[in-house]
Each structure stands twice: as C-alpha cells, then as structure tokens.
Amino acid sequence: MTRLVTAAILGSALCTAQSADNTQPASSNVRGAPYPRIHPDLRVTLRYRAPEARKVLLHPGGPGLAPADIEMTKGDDGFWWVTTPPAVPGFHYYWFLVDGAIVSDPASETYFGWGRQTSGVEVPEPGSDYYSPRDVPRGDLRSRWYLSRTTGQWRRAVVYTPPDYDRSVRARYPVLYLQHGAGEDERGWSTQGRANFILDNLIAEGKARPMIVVMDCGYANRPGEQPASGGRAGGTPGQPSAFEDVVLNDLIPMIDATYRTLPDRENRALAGLSMGAGQALQIGLRRLDRFSHIGAFSGGLRSFDAKTSYNGVFADAAAFNKKARLIWFGAGTAEEAQHKGALALHKSLEEAGIKHVYYASEGTAHEWQTWRRSLKEFAPLLFRNTTTIQGGSR
Amino acid sequence: MTRLVTAAILGSALCTAQSADNTQPASSNVRGAPYPRIHPDLRVTLRYRAPEARKVLLHPGGPGLAPADIEMTKGDDGFWWVTTPPAVPGFHYYWFLVDGAIVSDPASETYFGWGRQTSGVEVPEPGSDYYSPRDVPRGDLRSRWYLSRTTGQWRRAVVYTPPDYDRSVRARYPVLYLQHGAGEDERGWSTQGRANFILDNLIAEGKARPMIVVMDCGYANRPGEQPASGGRAGGTPGQPSAFEDVVLNDLIPMIDATYRTLPDRENRALAGLSMGAGQALQIGLRRLDRFSHIGAFSGGLRSFDAKTSYNGVFADAAAFNKKARLIWFGAGTAEEAQHKGALALHKSLEEAGIKHVYYASEGTAHEWQTWRRSLKEFAPLLFRNTTTIQGGSR
C-alpha cells in the first residue's frame, strides 16, 4: 500500500499518466482523481475519507467488481482503503456502506443505476477498444426533450445521429430504439454502455449501416397512475403499458417528425437489456406492424411456449419468419438464469423452426460488458434487407 | 414534521403531484424521490438515512440555500432531517457532512461542481419560467467528442443547435462560446444553467437570434504539464494558456468544420461565469480578431485600469468601440466582491468612454440564478449588427 499512498500524495500530476507502479486511475473517475486505480492484473484499489467512521464496506453493484461486500481498512490518513480481487473487464456500479449508510465515492463520476446516481468503475478489457473513442468520423449524441401526451410530463430522449447525418442532408436513416434496464434511465446506454462509440466504430469499419439510435426512459405512468412495481412493462395483461403508449404514440411520432428517419417498420428496430429486453419482446412481438427487428439482451427469456407465448405470434413459423427480419437474444455465461433462459429459448425456437440469432457473452454477468458486446453483435445485423434511400429527397 | 413524515410514507405516489401539505418534491430529485421537498415559502426539507451516524450536517454549496451548515436531527426512522430557512430561488449545490465525511444525497440528481458530482436542489422562482421547458420549438443539446491536439486527449463539447437547425439545412448560424466556473465542467451550463431552455424560450419569443452555443470544459493541460492552480487561465503572463490554445486551435476549427456556423469574428461571441468570465476577458480581449462580443458574468472584474489593463486594449476608446460589438458584464447584488467589481468596472469604462452593458441581478449571489439571468439578458444583445446569411448555400 505504501507505493499507492505515495502516488496519492503526488495527486493530480498523476491524473492522466500511468504511475511508476503501473497502476492507473480509472477512466470513470472525475477529472484529476487518482483513485479508484486499476492494477495491471485488473485489481482495483479504492479509498474513501471518513476519519470518524467505525466500519466502511465496499459494496459492488454487480458481481464483476467483487462477488460480495469487502471490508475496508482504515489508514492513518483518515482514508479507508480496499483492493479488490482481479475484476471482470467492463463497467461496474459500486458504492460504500459507511456505518450502514449508502455513500457515493466523491472521486467517481456518477452513473444512474439502482434508481439513483451511483459510483462506477471502468475496468479496461485488454486488447478491446470497440467501445472507446477512436479517431474516426463521429456522430452526435443529442438530448431531446418532448412533452408526452401519455404521461402529461416532459421526457428526455437521447438520440444518436450517425457521423454523416449533418452533411448528407437528404439522406434518411433507419432507427434502433434501445432500452436500458431496471433502475436505469435514458442516459444508461450512452454513459455506461458507450453506445455512441460502439456505433461510430462499427460504422467506420463498414460493419453496421449508419442508423439513428433512440434511447428513452423505460419508466412511464399515466397521470394519476401508481407506478408499476419496478416500473416494468406490466399493467393489465393484454393491455398496452403506459410505456408502450409512450413509444408508439409519443416517441416514434416525435422522432419521425424531428429527424430524417425511414419511418416504416422495415427500418425500425426495438431492443433492450434486462427490463428493456422484456419491453422489447412485449412491445415488439405484439406490434410487428411497427417493428421488424427485435433484440433481447439478458432478459425476457423465461418460460416460453412456441404455440402460446406472446399471444401465439410464433405459432405459424413460416408466417413469422416472413414478417420478422431479426429476432436476436443473448446473455452472459456468468449470469446463470439469463444464460439458461436464452439457451432454452434458442432450443424452443429451433424446434419450432423460428429463425433467430442466439448469442452468449463469455464470462460476463448481468452487467454492461454483456450489453456492450450484445450491441456490437446485434447492430451489424440490422436493416440489411431493407431498401436504402440514401439519395431520396425529404 | 409529522405531516412531512406521513408524506414520505406515501412514497412515490407523491413523486409528481403536490401533496396535501402543499410541499412538493424538488425537480432536481431523482425520479420518484419524495425528498428534498420545497415548501410554499421556499423552505426546503431534506433527509438522509444514516441510522448509526453521530452527527449529520447539511452543507450548502452556496449561500442561497442556507448561510451556513445546519445540524440535522435524527428521527426514529433512521433518517436525519433538516428544514432550511426560506431559500433564494434557483439552483443550489449541497451535500451532507456525516461524521465529518462528504456524502451525496442519494435522492438528488448529481451536478458537477466543486470538482465532483454533488447534490443539488432547484428552488423555483415564483412567476418565472424563462429557464423551464415550454411547449415551443426546441433545439438539440449535443455531446461531441473531439481529440485535442493541444492536450493530446479526448474532450467533450456540449453544443446547442437552435430549433430550426435541422430543417433549414442551408442556414448558417453565429456561435456563442459559453464557459462554466471553477470546479464545474462542460455540463454545467446545460444541466445547472439550463442554457438550452433559456435559448429555446428567447428564440421562440423573437428576443434572441437563433444561434449555436458551444459549452466546453475550461480545464486543459498540455501533455506533461502540471495543472494550473484551480485550472485558471493563468500560465505565463503574455503567453496563451493551454485552454486558450484549445479554444482557438482545436475547438473553434472543429465546431466550424462540424456545424453550419458563420465562421467570422462578427458572428463569434465568448462569455463565461466566474472563472469562465476571467477566461472570456483574457482570451476575448486579447483576440478581438476572433471574437466580437464578450460577456463576463460574476468574474474577472477586479483592479482595472483603462490605459493598461488587458494589454492596453481599452486605451484608444474610439478604436475599441469600433471593434468590439458588445462588452457585457454583471454580477448578483448578493455577491459583494463581484458586484463591487462590476460597479467599479462600469464606472471606469464610463469615464474612459468605452461602450459596454452593465447588469446587476437583484438579490442573487455567486450561484446559477445569477448566471441564468445573465444569459437571459446577454443573449438578446448578441449578433444584432451582423449580416444574416439565412439563405446562403454551404
């Protein structure tokens, strides 16, 4: 620990450089914060200053940082210190439990998850830069507020427009609607997921078609309506949820009126992770008149029956295969329930003769690295059969 | 307190509605959080759960929420509670001191200030909605990453494009470069300042010209360079700071190449608050060949001499008045040093015959309400004498 403490004393001089001991500040830190620090073997050292606390724990917000709470050790400097075991690469939520109270790390940027702004640490994946900014043409990430008629409230959508959007002023683009998980919001896919960098890089490599990506908040309530438990797309069976109404009646019309979209079902995809995967399947399979490509990342994959599930949409395999351009689902091998669910669905759909793509992310759990990889695999398969209208007039 | 505790038990049902006791959750809270709550007389009730803490203080990050730390009182529910005196309207940073440690409020959204993600509370200004979303045409707020040659690092600019930008595909727009204060970053003007709503509303009322607003991070270091104290635009006197080089050599060329700007000095303004005001004056007055309009909100206003200050740029009043289209500065009457500085500068410039606009924000301190008002006053005066090229081709 001595060398780490020395590094801390050197302070902000270290904020971007690698230090003599080969540890480096996490890219998820606030500007100039020397901790959390990443070791070459992906252990993570964190600290928190609480001179008068009696007990401080590191609480990982996912299994990839550490499998359970770790007790921190008080130093002479008033800081509590901890070094994790080697972490799984990717983004991990965390916070401290200071004498039992939930406390954010002032040295971390904040990331909306678990229903609040938590701390997070980015553990680099050696040899992998598909979700990092590269010196390639870049799209814009736009915040767009809109007044929802369904909820009566202002909502904010985050909209990725591809690199050539502003220059090719007559081009129109297909649209992927991409949803976050429970406890997160419209910022998750760009901030934690780095969806914009993933798309910039895929498009630069010619691996994905230039597309617009719309990331909205998966929570919605009608005026006076009690929020559904966990905000899930539940509601009365057979009835659209408030979120479904937002997507179909507020969001899609706003996006099609504001951006140069290709506004037909062939050019519209719906995907999501965890809770958002359930929403993508619920809404997408119900409304194949509006969506042609569906992606379910780590969610919505349980207890499937090809004859009856999703209102029997899969019952006529030939008809379904003709209508749905892409059914894509997957999970990390380290998230047991979701991985088993995906495998079971894969088997059921194979038996039923339903075309689909199944994906397993090796070694990742119910965390963002699974979903970054899922997007990297999913996006190149989108909008491949549809007519390109690159030169069409508005 | 009894009625407030009852309201808390009702929980998320209250998250958007006004409760029976006429208090309401702050708009700065995370989704569904019932506290902090605003009283009709603008007192604010906050709570924090720390059952084992011995002493918890509310620490205001500015004088508008409370003039000093306030001790919180422990309830039977494990929460510590406090109600402030009536607060000044506007946005206020705050955090808790839990047994001496700095702790964010998990119920608050986070706002980058004081060099980290702090909590913040929005206290409404009765009768004032110029910084709220209205049902008017809205611009986009875009995040754009760019690789800075000056620093060798990726930077993110936040770019406001006006409501008609995407539709009027041949129009070109003037650009305001707008800087945050010390301890803040490129997100401050949109998140805390609500610059996008202020511009949307001014443009909808015909009070301001449609313009692009670029909000960048005011901190920059050359590779291997020690960060300047507080990140101020200091460096060697007479030498441009790294931030000045970023603005002139990296940011402006990137913006002019990426967006449909009017790329001449007549259509380029530079303004900022506090540290950013100092930067606007330092850079803008030195480089009147690049900027024609300068705004200094609550900063950079001390020890002025019309003959020698800023390399003597004011010495020839007639020449200066011909060249500078707008010199605008102001401060809140409740921030004594800045207000006195602004008044003294106003007097000096009047005596020297230098055209300028002086503004005093009544009753506000060194906080965002002063700067929202400053932007509302400043933006309508921009780019009034310049040629409009609305129909020009690219």
Q: Do A101 and B145 touch (CB under 8 A)?
A: no
The rounded distance, in Å, linking the Cα atoms of A73 and A76 is 10
Find the helix packing angle between A195-204 and A368-378, rounded to 10°: 30
Q: What percent of chain B has pLDDT over 70?
A: 89
Chain B residues close to A180, C-beta within 8 Å: none
Q: Which residue of B has its CA nearest to A218?
A: B31
Say if B2-123 and B140-381 have the same CATH topology: no
B30 and A99: CB-CB below 8 Å? Answer: no
Q: Which among A32, A98, A142 has the least Cβ separation from residue B141?
A: A142
What is the model's pLDDT at position A116? Answer: 96
The interface residues of chain A toward chain B in range 249-308, judged by CB-CB distance below 8 A, are: 258-260
Task: Find the residue in A nearest to B222 (Cα).
Answer: A16
Residues in chain A predicted with pLDDT less than 70, given as ranges, are 1-20, 227-238, 303, 386-394
Residue with tokens 């001089």: A13
CB contact under 8 A, B53 and A99: yes
Distance separating alpha carbons of residues B226 and A14, to the nearest angstrom: 9
Interchain proximity B115–A226, CB inside 8 Å: no
Handedness of CA B313, B315, B316, B320 (dihedral sign): positive
Residues with Cβ within 8 Å of A43's Cβ and at least 6 positions away in sequence, in order, are A83, A84, A85, A86, A87
Residue B111 C-beta-side C-alpha neighbours within 13 Å: 28
Third-level CATH fold of B2-123 = Immunoglobulin-like (2.60.40)
Per-residue pLDDT, averaged over B340-347, amounts to 94
Q: Does A145 touch chain B (CB under 8 A)?
A: yes
Whether pTM exceeds 0.80: yes
* pLDDT at res. B386: 53
CA distance B131 to chain A (A): 14
The CA distance from B375 to B381, in Å, is: 10
Is B98 close to A103, i.e. CB distance below 8 A? yes
User: What pLDDT score was predicted for residue B390?
Assistant: 41
The count of C-alpha atoms lying within 13 angstroms of the C-alpha of B44, restricted to the half-sphere facing its C-beta, is 28
Supply the mean pLDDT for chain B: 90
Q: What percent of chain A has pLDDT over 90?
A: 85
Q: Closest to A30 (Cβ–Cβ): which among B49, B102, B116?
A: B116
CB pairs under 8 A between A and B: 140
Q: In whole angstroms, give the CA distance from residue A284 to residue A307.
A: 17
Segment B359-383, tens digit of pLDDT: 999 999 999 999 999 999 999 999 9
Q: How far is CA B364 from the centre of its chain?
A: 14
Cβ-based neighbours of A127, under 8 Å, separated by 6 or more = none
| pLDDT of res. A318 | 96
Residues of chain B with Cβ-Cβ distance to A108 below 8 Å are 117
- Contact criterion met (CB < 8 Å) for B103 and A103: yes
d(CA A216, CA A175) in angstroms, rounded, equals 13
In the block, tokens 């194979």 appear at A350
Chain A interface includes B52 (CB < 8 A): yes
Cβ–Cβ under 8 Å, residues B45 and B72: no
Q: Which burial class, exposed, middle or buried, applies to A31 when counting CB atoms under 10 A from its CB (0-12, 13-18, 19+)?
A: middle
Question: How is residue A286 written in tokens?
Answer: 């119900």
Of B51, B224, B259, the CB nearest to A100: B51
At residue B85, what are phi and psi to the nearest 5 degrees?
-65, 170
| Three-class DSSP category at A392 | coil
* Residue bearing the bigger pLDDT, B9 or B268: B268
* Residue of A133, A145, A185 lying closest to B145 (CB–CB): A133
The C-alpha of B213 sits at a distance from chain A's nearest C-alpha, in angstroms, of 14
pLDDT tops 60 at residue B40: yes
**In chain B, where the domains are located:** 2-123, 140-381
- Residue B225 pLDDT level (bands cut at 50, 70, 90): confident
ipTM of this predicted structure: 0.91
Count of residues in chain B: 394
Instruction: Label the pairing between strands B44-49 and B175-179.
Output: unpaired
Of A17, A99, A112, the CB nearest to B52: A99
How many secondary structure helices (H) and strands (E) does chain B include? Answer: 10, 19
Is B138 near chain A, with CB under 8 Å? yes
Query: Measuring CA to CA, which residue among B199, B91, B67 is closest to residue B140?
Result: B199
Q: Of B182, B160, B385, which is closest to residue B278 (Cα–Cα)?
A: B182
d(CA B209, CA B202): 8
Whether A342 and A358 have beta carbons less than 8 Å apart is answered as: yes
What residue has token string 């902090």?
B36
- Which residue in B50, B115, B144 is closest to A99 by CB distance? B50
Sign of the CA dihedral A111, A116, A118, A122?
A: negative
Cβ of B258 and A166 within 8 Å?
yes
Beta strands at A326-332 and A357-361: parallel, antiparallel or unpaired: parallel
CB pair distance less than 8 Å for B52 and A48: no
Contact flag B31-A104 (C-beta cutoff 8 Å): no
Dihedral of CA B330/B332/B338/B339: which sign? Answer: positive
Query: Looking at chain B from residue 150 to 209, which residues have their Cβ under 8 Å from any Cβ of chain A?
Result: 153-154, 159, 166, 169, 185, 190, 196
- Count CB atoms within 10 A of the CB of residue A204: 15
Q: Is A90 helix (H, G, I), strand (E, B) or coil?
A: strand
Locate the chain B residue with the closest alpha carbon to A132.
B154
Specify the pLDDT at position A304: 76
Cα-only R_g, chain B: 22
* pLDDT at residue number A301: 76
β partners of residue A80: A48, A74
The residues facing A159 across adjacent strands are A142, A214
For residue A36, whether the previous peptide bond is cis, meaning omega lies within 30 degrees of 0, is yes
A149 CB neighbours in chain B (<8 A) are none
Sign of torsion over alpha carbons B181, B185, B186, B192? negative
- Closest residue in B to A80 (Cα) is B101
Segment 211-230 of chain B within 8 Å of chain A by CB: 217, 219, 224, 226-227
Q: pLDDT at position B301, please?
A: 76
Range B173-194 average pLDDT: 98
- The answer to whether the CB atoms of A101 and B98 lie below 8 A apart is yes
Q: What pLDDT does A119 receive? A: 98
Tokens of residue A177, six digits: 């609607």
* Nearest residue to B259 (alpha-carbon basis) of A248, A140, A222: A140
CB atoms B258 and A30 under 8 Å: no
Chain A nearest-CA residue for B144: A140
Torsion of CA A120, A60, A80, B103, to 10 degrees: 60
Query: Beta-carbon neighbour count of residue A167 at 10 Å?
Result: 10
Write down the pLDDT at residue A55. Answer: 96
Instruction: For A31, name the nearest residue in chain B, comparing CA atoms only.
Output: B115
A98 to B103: CB separation less than 8 angstroms, yes or no: yes
**To the nearest whole angstrom, how far is the Cα of A229 from the nearest Cα of chain B?**
11
Nearest chain B residue to A152 by CA distance is B16
A147 φ, ψ (degrees, to nearest 5):
-90, 120
Asked if A100 and B50 come within 8 Å (Cβ–Cβ), the reply is: yes
Q: What's the whole-number mean pLDDT along residues B5-26?
A: 53
Which residues in chain B have Cβ-Cβ distances shorter than 8 Å to A117? 30, 104, 106, 108-110, 117
- With beta carbons under 8 A apart, name residues in chain B contacting A47: none
Q: Do A140 and B141 touch (CB under 8 A)?
A: no
Residues B74, B80 contacting (CB under 8 angstroms): yes
The Cα–Cα gap between A205 and A201 comes to 6
Q: Which residues of B171-182 are buried (b: 16+ CB within 10 A; e: fewer)?
A: bbbbbbbbbbbb
pLDDT digit string, tens, across residues B257-308: 999 999 999 999 999 999 999 999 999 999 999 999 999 999 987 767 888 8
Grade residue B228 by pLDDT with cuts at 50, 70 and 90: low
The verdict on whether omega for the bond into residue B51 sits within 30 degrees of 0, i.e. cis, is no
Tokens of A10: 């050197």
Q: Which CATH architecture is the domain B140-381 placed in?
A: 3-Layer(aba) Sandwich (3.40)
Q: For chain A, state the CA radius of gyration.
A: 22
Instruction: Return residues 54-73 of B near A (CB < 8 Å).
Output: 54
Instruction: Determine which of B9-23, B195-209, B307-321, B354-368 has the lowest per-residue pLDDT on average.
Output: B9-23
Token pair in block for residue A228? 């559904």
Q: In this structure, what token pair is assigned to residue A370?
A: 């699974």
